[in-house]
Amino acid sequence: MKEYFKNVPTIKYEGKDSKNPFAFKFYDAEKVIMGKKMKEHLPFAMAWWHTLCASGTDMFGRDTADKSFNTEKGTMAHAHAKVDAGFECMQKLGIEYFCFHDVDLVPEADDIKETNRRLDEITDHLLEKMKETGIKCLWGTANMFSNPRFMNGAGSTNSAEVYCFAAAQIKKALELTVKLGGKGYVFWGGREGYETLLNTDIKFEQENIARLMKMAVNYGRSIGFTGDFYIEPKPKEPMKHQYDFDAATAIGFLKQHGLDKDFKMNIEANHATLAGHTFEHELRISAINGMLGSIDANQGDYLLGWDTDEFPSDVYSATLCMYEVLKAGGLTGGFNFDAKNRRPSNTYEDMFHAFILGMDTYALGLIKAAELIEDGRIDAFIEEKYNSFTHGIGKKIVSNEATFEELAAYAEELGQTKEPQSGRQEYLNGIINSVLFR
């Protein structure tokens, strides 16, 4: 068996004092936290597209990283080499899942029938490697944004013909997800949105997207897909207005169209901040609606207005994320590193440094979030804050027994409220720091 990353050993946990660039400092897969192993709390996934396809090309320059894996790019030999390289990468890191778009796996042919044949061939290879290694599929998806035919959208397209190609791609991607035993199926609305109302019928487009999703659910269930469908909200890029702006918007859409029983959210950190929210806000909104499914673990750059898809290094953010995840009782999905190296970090070694950074950041986030929960001061503060609703008139309100007349009479009797209670934000921020940096 060919080894692609010869300079990189199997990555092991060595503890926080280790200076070995190829060791975990915090991610200790077997360590038990709040009754569960770290690797169970953190089912990490490798994103096929960033790890095995993206090579540093941007709007201003071509590839800086070599992802040819000693083959000619755009061939099936290359597609097969990516499978072997991808599994070597995951095995060396102890990553147990991967995520894919259809066209990450094989070069797209001119005829969809040939593309599908290639997909059958490559997924046979994938299945073999999965059996051999125990590595699993977290989720699959169809790329309905790269091909020029989708320039006006996929589910939101003006062309019935293009709509059929979108359906055909989803149908195939669902079949592949079932074949690979994927836990989820993602809809990220790459071109589902618009640039100007002057050429757009939003209502029509959104109804057509819902139709496509309904057909996908029906078909998926009919071929034995029992996992979750996910919407991955994003406010903009590539479109100026993306329909799945944020979790609240996507959840509203799903409820409106009766899709909420089959769908959950796949929340991406960088998309959250692009929407003007914190990552933890998006997680909380999903969780309180029973729709926290999976996470695209990355981070953005607050100085830049686009999806930079950086590997997570911000422990503060990872802690607040894991706080939400632990409080929600964990994810049904996992943590997909939808993240890529910076363009000048162009070697294989950099690839591994990036994953080590990301996995250590989430491990630290998990450790610290568990400590915050055990500390209990935040929970205690929130409980105390809403205390007035646990008895008397407050209790009547939340048990839906109060009337407007009664509440108004209560207010009139008091004449004036007591001093408003402090929100104590600075005190609470201090607690986070004291737990993070002890």
Q: Which residues bind ligand XLS (CB under 6 A)?
A: 101, 141, 186, 188, 232, 234, 268, 296, 307, 338
Which of ligand XLS, Ni ion, none does 104 bind, CB closer than 5 to 8 A by kind?
Answer: none
Least distance to Ni ion, CB of residue 186, Å: 8
3-state secondary structure the chain: CCCCCCCCCCCEECCCCCCCCCEECCCCCCCEECCEEHHHHCCEEEEHHHHHHCCCCECCECCCCCCCCCCCCCCHHHHHHHHHHHHHHHHHHCCCEEEEEHHHHCCCCCCHHHHHHHHHHHHHHHHHHHHHHCCEEEEEECCCCCCHHHCCCCCCCCCHHHHHHHHHHHHHHHHHHHHCCCCEEEECCCCCEECCHHHCCHHHHHHHHHHHHHHHHHHHHHCCCCCEEEECCCCCCCCCEECCCCHHHHHHHHHHCCCCCCEEEEEEHHHHHHCCCCHHHHHHHHHHCCCEEEEECCECCCCCCCCCCECCCCHHHHHHHHHHHHHCCCCCCCEEECCCCCCCCCCHHHHHHHHHHHHHHHHHHHHHHHHHHHHCHHHHHHHHHCHHHCCHHHHHHHCCCCCHHHHHHHHHHHCCCCCCCCCCHHHHHHHHHHHHCC
Least distance to ligand XLS, CB of residue 271, Å: 7
Residues between 359 and 398 that touch Ni ion (CB under 5 A): none
Least distance to Ni ion, CB of residue 165, Å: 22
Which of Ni ion, ligand XLS, none does 229 bind, CB closer than 5 to 8 A by kind?
Answer: none
Which of ligand XLS, Ni ion, none does 280 bind, CB closer than 5 to 8 A by kind?
Answer: none
* Beta-strand pair 36-37/32-33: antiparallel
Could you give the CA distance from residue 119 to residue 132 in angstroms, rounded to a whole number? 20
Which of ligand XLS, Ni ion, none does 88 bind, CB closer than 5 to 8 A by kind?
Answer: none
353 alpha-carbon distance from chain centroid: 21
Nearer to Ni ion, 262 or 268 (CB): 268
Nearer to ligand XLS, 28 or 309 (CB): 309
Contact 147, 156 (CB under 8 A): no
Could you give the CA distance from residue 429 to residue 334 in angstroms, rounded to a whole number? 28
Nearer to ligand XLS, 13 or 188 (CB): 188
Least distance to ligand XLS, CB of residue 293, Å: 13
Q: Considering only the stretches 25-33, 198-206, 244-252, 302-310, report the one whose residues sit in contact with Ni ion under the rule CB under 5 A.
A: 302-310
Least distance to Ni ion, CB of residue 110, Å: 28
Least distance to ligand XLS, CB of residue 407, Å: 46
Least distance to ligand XLS, CB of residue 402, Å: 45
Which of ligand XLS, Ni ion, none does 324 bind, CB closer than 5 to 8 A by kind?
Answer: none
Which of Ni ion, ligand XLS, none does 102 bind, CB closer than 5 to 8 A by kind?
Answer: none
Nearer to ligand XLS, 308 or 388 (CB): 308
Could you give the CA distance from residue 379 to residue 110 in angstroms, rounded to a whole number? 57
Nearer to ligand XLS, 184 or 365 (CB): 184
Residues between 243 and 282 that touch Ni ion (CB under 5 A): 268
Q: Which residues are catalytic?
A: 101, 104
Which of ligand XLS, Ni ion, none does 186 bind, CB closer than 5 to 8 A by kind?
Answer: ligand XLS
Which of Ni ion, ligand XLS, none does 192 bind, CB closer than 5 to 8 A by kind?
Answer: none
Nearer to ligand XLS, 47 or 251 (CB): 47
Residues between 281 and 300 that touch Ni ion (CB under 5 A): 296
Contact 266, 226 (CB under 8 A): no
Residues between 304 and 343 that touch Ni ion (CB under 5 A): 307, 338
Nearer to ligand XLS, 205 or 307 (CB): 307
Nearer to Ni ion, 50 or 368 (CB): 50
- Residue nearest ligand XLS by beta-carbon distance: 188
Question: Which of 132, 134, 139 shows the shortest CA–CA distance to 47?
Answer: 139
Least distance to Ni ion, CB of residue 99, Å: 9
Q: Which residues of the chain form contacts with Ni ion (CB under 5 A)?
A: 268, 296, 307, 338
